[in-house]
Amino acid sequence: MAINRKSTSKSLASKASKVLNNPSSSKAAKTLAASALAQKSNSKQTSAKVETLASTVMRSNKYSGNTKQLAASVLSQSNKAR
């Protein structure tokens, strides 16, 4: 299986933390933020379920720029073999 060694940047991790602490953030945004933070400093990869969510977010017009940034980050850290 191909391993992706990318990790979440410090600035994006900060945004993800703010999303998780904001009670008005959507469930999708919080899921993507949690995934991004989980990939901050180790070799964890995006799960297939979160990849699907991130793909949906990227194709939709209803999500904010911050949510799309999180989606792009977790997609870039996904398993390339999947």
Residues 6+ positions from 55 with CB-CB distance below 8 Å: 71, 75
Against a cut of 0.75, is the pTM above it? yes
Eight-state DSSP code of residue 77: T
User: Which pLDDT does position 40 carry in this prediction?
Assistant: 85
Q: Please give the Cα distance from 39 to 36 (Å, whole number).
A: 5
User: Which pLDDT does position 8 carry in this prediction?
Assistant: 87
User: Which pLDDT does position 4 carry in this prediction?
Assistant: 62
CB atoms within 10 A of CB 36: 29
* Per-residue pLDDT tens over the stretch 1-43: 566 677 888 999 999 999 999 999 999 999 999 999 998 877 7
User: Which pLDDT does position 3 carry in this prediction?
Assistant: 64
